[in-house]
Structure 1
C-alpha cells in the first residue's frame, strides 16, 4: 500500500542500471516492495523473475546454492558452484531478487558482481539494511509509509486513501474486527497511533492485531505510556530502529508466558516448520505436547507466526525481524544450545526414519518433505559445525541422508558438510565415518555412471570405460536395517551391471539387472528401479537388441519418479536417442536430443556446453548429423527444443504406440495397451471417460492441473490415441460389456 512512487522509481533505476539495492530499517517493507517491483516486471524478462530468500542461511558458502535451488539448477560436477551458476545465467534474460542480504554481504557482493560481469541479460534487485558496495549499484532507501502531521488532521475514509499508513492499519484491523473502518470518531486516534509507530508497516500490523482485545483509544493510550517510559517522559520520538524494537517488545509482553516461550523456541527453525517439528522442539520446555498447537494458533492470530499451506500440510514461519528477536530471547533464557541440539536431534531422527522407509512406495513424498526442510537441515549441520563436540552427529546425519543427496543431486553440498565436519573432528574426509564417506561416493558414482552412455567410443559406438569405481566400504559399516540392506543390494547389482556393460559384457549385466528389478518391484520403490531400467536398456542396446532396449527405457519413463526428475528424464531421452540411431531413425534421435537438451539447459547443465568443455560429442548426434545433414539435424533438433517435459515424454513413448498400431484395429490396440497404465493413470482415464476436463480431474484427484494435463498426454501416447474421445471409447469398451456402458457426466 502506498508504494506507487517507489515502484515507479525502482523500475526507472533498473532501466538505468542492472543492480538496485533497496535499503532501510527492519520492518519498513523492503521485501514487499521488491516483490511488487518483480511482479510489475514479469513481462519484461523472457526467463522470468526469481525470488531467493537468504534469511535462513548462515553459511556464506551456500549462497550460490540457495540461488541454484530456486532456479532449479542441479549440477553434478565438481566445478565451483558460482561458476556453474554463471554458466547457466550467461544466456538468460531474467531478474534475480536477493532478499535479506545484510548478514551475508561479502558472499552476496561476490555473487552479484560475478553474475553482472558475465551474464549481460541478468538484472538484480537486492534487499538489505546495508548496501553491497558494488560499482554501478543504484540505491533506493525505502521510507516508512506517510502519516498525517499533527497540524494536518485526517478526515475519515479520505484519510485512509491519502495516508497509506492509515490504510494499512484499517486493512489489518478489519481482518480481526470485521467491518472496522476509519471514521470521524476514530480518525485522530488512528493517525496518532501511526505517527507513534513512525509509519513502519510491520509495527503497524503488530499493533492492529491488538484491536482484538483493545479499543483504538486504549491501544493508543497504552502505546503512549510505553513510549513515555522509554523516552524518560520527554515525549520525544524514538529513532525508527528503536520504534520497531519497542513495538515488538510490546507485542511480546502482550503474549501469554507460553506464547512468549514458544516464540523463542521456534526461532531455532531456519526456515518454516510443520506442526510435528514444532511439537518436537517446543514440547518439554514448560509446554505440554498437546498444548503446542493451541499456542501456535495464538501466535498466528497475533501475526507473530505466518502460516503457509504446503500441499496437504501447513507450515509456520517467523518473519526475519521477529525471528531475530526470538533468538535474542532464547539466548537470554540460556537455552539456545539446548534447543538447537533438540532441533538437530529431531532432524536426525526424521532422517533415520525416512532412511528406513526409503526403499518403498513413499519416495516422492519423502523427497518433497526433505526439500521443504532444506533450510532446517542446513541449520542442523551449522549447529554441528559451530558447537564443540557435535561434529560426529553431523557426520552421522550426512551418512543417513545419502538417499536425499543422491536423488536431489546435491553433490557439492554433501562434500561441503563432509569436509568441514571432518575437519572439526580433526581428521581428513577419508577419516570420517564410513557411511558419510559412502554417501559422498555414491552421489558421485551414480551420476558419473549415468552419463557414460553419452560418451560413446568413436570406433565402436559402445560405451566408453567408466572412470569411477564404487567406493570400497565394509557392508557392516553401512547397513543399519533391512531397508539399507535392500538399497545396498540393488545398487550393488546395478553398479556391477554398469561395469559389465562398460567392459563390453552386456549379456552378463542382464541377469543382475533382472534380480535388482525384481527386488525394486517387490518393494514398490521407483528411484533405484529407474536406474536399473536405464542400465537394462543400455545393456540391450549394447547387444543390438533395440526393441528390448526401447521397452525398458519406456518402462523407465512411465515411472512417476522419473517424470518428476529432470535428470532422470533427460538421461532416458538421451538413451532413447542413442537407441534410435541404432535403429536407423536419425530424425527421431535428433528430436529426442533436442527435448533432452532443453531439460538439461533448464537445470543448468546444457550438454552442448558440456561437450564444448570436454571436446566430446555424443555419438548419437554425430551419426544423426551425418544421416540428416546439418540443416536437417537442426530442424529436427529445434522441434525437440520446443517440447515441454510432458510433451517430451509423450513423444518418447509414441514410438511404441505407432509400432503396436500396425495391423491392429485402434480400439483393440488401445485395450491391450491399457494394461500398461499405472493405477493413477487408470483413475485419470476413468474420469476422462466420464467427460471431465483436466481442471475437473485435478480437483477430483487433488493434484495440480498441470499434473493432470501431463497424465492425459502420457495416456494418449501409451494408448496410441490422438484425442480424449478415443480414450473414453477405448476405456469403456475394455472395461464394460455392451449394454452396461456408463453415461458421460
Structure 2
C-alpha cells in the first residue's frame, strides 16, 4: 500500500480524513467507500486514512488475492481502489471473511448492503473578494494546494499581490480539482500564472505532465476525463456530450423527457453535478476537465456545429415561450430562470448571429428585453439591439420593436436624448404598419424618455393618448405601466391630485396582473407623492417596493428605490446616518455595475444629502460606512434597508415623550443609545467602545428604562427624535 505524508497529501481534507478514520475505527464497519469525481484525491485520502487507522487492524492488504487465511482473531482491512464495478466480488469477500473491513474508492458507490459512504468534493474555491487579499486567499484550500505544489516545482514561487488574481482565476477555472491544480502548479517552472491562464483558455483539459510513476489517467486531464467516461452506455454518453456544450448552471431546458435514467447515471458518477442553492429548480454543470475534453471530442468528430445549433435552438424556444410570462403572476420565477440561464442565452444569441439567423436572433433579443432590464444588462442588451438593427434585413415589426427596446435600454442607462431619438425612429417604422398596440406602446415609451429629457409637456402630449389607446385595445400591462409614467409627468407639472388618482388606478392594475417590476416603480412614485403629508405611509410604500425588487432580482429600479428610502430614513430618523450612507453607497455601486446614471435632478438631491451627512458624521465614519455600503450586493442592500426601524403608534409615543429624555442619560449611555439606533448589536457596540458585552447589556437596560422604551426600535426612534 502506498504511503503519503499527511502534510503533503491532506490539504483541505481534514474533515473527510477524520470521518473516514472514525468509520474504520468502528468494529461494526464492514464496507466504507470514498466517492467522488476522478482526480479529487480519493486514493490518496484512503491511503492516508488506512495508514493512520492501521493500529485497529491485525493486517492491512491491497490485493484480494492476499486474503487467503484471513479472518482469524484480528480484524483485516482491505484497501480496494476503483471498486465501483466489483460489487459481486466485494459482497463475496465480506460474506466469506467475518473479520474483514473493506475500504473502497470509486466514482460511485459499490452498491453492497451496509455500505457507508464518505463523499469527497473538489476543494473550496476563492471568492472574487479574496483575490484582493493574498493573505485571505492563501487560506483557501484550493489556493493553498496550488501554492504548495508550485513552490515545490519552482523554488521561490510565492503568492503575491501581483499574481493573486491570476492564481485565484486558475483555481476557479480548474474548479478546485486537486489533480488539475497539481498539474497546473507543475507548469509554474515554465510559465507565470497569468501566462498559463491565457494558454489554458477554455481548454484546461490540455494540462499534462503528471509523474511517470502515476497511473496513466493521472498524467493528463484529457486522459483523466476519458477514463471518467469509460463504461458509460450509449444514451448516457450521448447526453453527456450534449450537455458539455452548455454553460455551467443550465436547467431543464437542456433536458428531454427521455433523459431521466441517463441523467441519474451521470449524477451518480459525478459526471454531472447540481449547482446553486435553489433545490426547487435544479441546475446542473458538467465539471472540468470532462466538459472541455468532450467539447474537443465533438470538434474532432465534426459534431460541434450541430451541437451548437441544437443548443441555440433550445434557448430560442425557451425565450419565445417564456416571454409572455414575464409580466404576469409568474414574473419573478421566469425572471429568475432568465437570470440563471443568462450565459446560455448569450451563447445562443452568438450562435444564431454567426449562422446568419437574424430573425431568430431578433426574436430572442426581444424576449430578453425585460430580463435585461431586471438584471441591469443594459449596455450588452443595447449592443445586441444595435447589432441586429444595423445588419438590416428584418421585417418592419421586429425592427420597430428592437428600436423601441433600444430606447428603453438607453433611457435606463440615463441617456434620455438618445432614448428620444430611438423611440422616434421606432415610431417612424411602426406607424405605417397599422399596429395600434405597438404604436401606442412606443409612444408611451417616448413620453417617458421626454420626461427624463426635461420636456414634461411633450411627455404629457404623448402619454395621455397612449394610455387611452392601450386601454382600448386591452393591453392591461402596458397601459398600467404607461399610466405610472403619466402620473410622474403630472407630478412634474404640479398636478399632484390628478397624479395620485391616475397612479391609484395603475397600482390596482399592476397588483391584479402580478407585474411586480412595474409595481415596484409605481410604489416608488406613490411614496414620493405621499411623503409630504404621510411619511409613515411613504416609508411603507418604499419598503414594499424594496421587497418587490428583491423578489424579482431587479437591478435597474432598485438603485432609485434605495436612494429614496435612504432619504426617507434621513428625514424621519436622523440618528440612522451611517445606514443612510450605506444605502446610498450600495445604490451607487449598483449603478456602476449596470453602467447607468441617475437622473440629474435626482442626483442633485442625493448629492446634497450626502454632503450634509458627511458634515455631521465626519470623514472617518462616513468613509467607513460608504465602504461598507459598496460591498453590499442587491439582496444585502435590501436587507440593510429593511432592517431600519419601522414607525408604529407605540414607537411614535415613545419618541414624543422622549424629547427631553436623553438629558437623563449619562454621556456613556448616550453613546450606547446612538449606536443602538444605528442598528449595531451588543457585541458590535462593545467592540466599538472597548467595553465588555455584559456592560453594554446593562447600559441598554438602563437606557430603555430611562427612556420608557420596551424595544431597541423604540430607542432608535427616541434618539432620532432627540437628534
Q: TM-score, normalised by structure 2?
A: 0.51
Distance 1:467 1:387 in 2: 39
In structure 2, which of residues 576, 587, 590 is the aligned counterpart of residue 600 of structure 1?
Answer: 587
Q: Does 1:316 align with 2:280?
A: no
Cα distance, 1:591 vs structure 2: 3.9
In structure 2, which of residues 517, 524, 546 is the aligned counterpart of residue 557 of structure 1?
Answer: 546
Kept in 2, the 8 Å contact 1:34–1:97? The answer is: no
Q: Does 1:445 align with 2:411?
A: yes
Counterpart of 1:630 in structure 2 is: 615
Counterpart of 1:200 in structure 2 is: 220
Q: Secondary structure at the match of 1:662?
A: helix
Q: Does 1:374 align with 2:342?
A: yes
Counterpart of 2:652 in structure 1 is: 662
Distance 1:394 1:430 in 2: 15
In structure 2, which of residues 306, 321, 324 is the aligned counterpart of residue 353 of structure 1?
Answer: 321
Q: Against the structure 1 CA distance between its residues 4 and 615, is the aligned structure 2 distance closer, same or farther, given a 3 Å change threshold? A: farther
Higher RCO (Cα < 8 Å, 6 or more apart): 1
Q: Secondary structure at the match of 2:285?
A: strand
Counterpart of 1:271 in structure 2 is: 248
Alignment of 1:238-253 (within 5 A): 251=229
Aligned residues: 461
Kept in 2, the 8 Å contact 1:359–1:525? The answer is: yes
Counterpart of 2:260 in structure 1 is: 293
Counterpart of 1:404 in structure 2 is: 371
Q: Against the structure 1 CA distance between its residues 593 and 563, is the aligned structure 2 distance closer, same or farther, given a 3 Å change threshold? A: farther
In structure 1, which of residues 398, 422, 434 is the aligned counterpart of residue 400 of structure 2?
Answer: 434
Cα distance, 1:334 vs structure 2: 6.1
Cα distance, 1:264 vs structure 2: 3.3
Counterpart of 2:197 in structure 1 is: 128
Q: Against the structure 1 CA distance between its residues 257 and 349, is the aligned structure 2 distance closer, same or farther, given a 3 Å change threshold? A: same
Distance 1:274 1:634 in 2: 48
Distance 2:504 2:319 in 1: 30
> Which of structures 1 and 2 has the bigger CA Rg?
2
Q: Against the structure 1 CA distance between its residues 369 and 45, is the aligned structure 2 distance closer, same or farther, given a 3 Å change threshold? A: farther
Q: Does 1:618 align with 2:597?
A: no
Render the CA deviation track for 1:542-586: whole Å, top value 9, x for unaligned.
x665454334223323446369546545422321344466x5x58
Render the CA deviation track for 1:149-205: whole Å, top value 9, x for unaligned.
xxxxxxxxxxxxxxxx5xxxxxxxxxxxxxxxxxxxxxxxxxxxx0x3462356346
Distance 1:395 1:38 in 2: 36
Kept in 1, the 8 Å contact 2:490–2:496? The answer is: yes
Q: Secondary structure at the match of 1:361?
A: coil
Q: Against the structure 1 CA distance between its residues 604 and 553, is the aligned structure 2 distance closer, same or farther, given a 3 Å change threshold? A: closer
> What 5-or-longer segments of structure 1 have no aligned partner?
9-26, 52-89, 103-122, 133-140, 149-164, 166-193, 210-250, 280-288, 451-463, 666-719, 725-745
Counterpart of 2:109 in structure 1 is: none
Q: Does 1:98 align with 2:169?
A: yes
Alignment of 1:77-476 (within 5 A): 97-99=168-170, 128=197, 130=199, 144-148=209-213, 165=214, 194=215, 196-197=216-217, 199-200=219-220, 203-204=223-224, 206-207=226-227, 251=229, 254-279=231-256, 289-290=257-258, 292-308=259-275, 310-312=277-279, 313-319=281-287, 321-327=289-295, 330=298, 336-388=304-356, 390-425=357-392, 433-446=399-412, 448=414, 466-467=452-453
Alignment of 1:491-502 (within 5 A): 491-502=481-492
Distance 1:129 1:385 in 2: 26
Q: Against the structure 1 CA distance between its residues 647 and 400, is the aligned structure 2 distance closer, same or farther, given a 3 Å change threshold? A: closer
Cα distance, 1:409 vs structure 2: 0.9
Distance 2:477 2:169 in 1: 39
Q: Against the structure 1 CA distance between its residues 603 and 578, is the aligned structure 2 distance closer, same or farther, given a 3 Å change threshold? A: closer
Q: Against the structure 1 CA distance between its residues 431 and 566, is the aligned structure 2 distance closer, same or farther, given a 3 Å change threshold? A: closer
Q: Against the structure 1 CA distance between its residues 500 and 448, is the aligned structure 2 distance closer, same or farther, given a 3 Å change threshold? A: farther
Q: Secondary structure at the match of 2:592?
A: coil
Distance 2:5 2:616 in 1: 55
Cα distance, 1:47 vs structure 2: 9.3
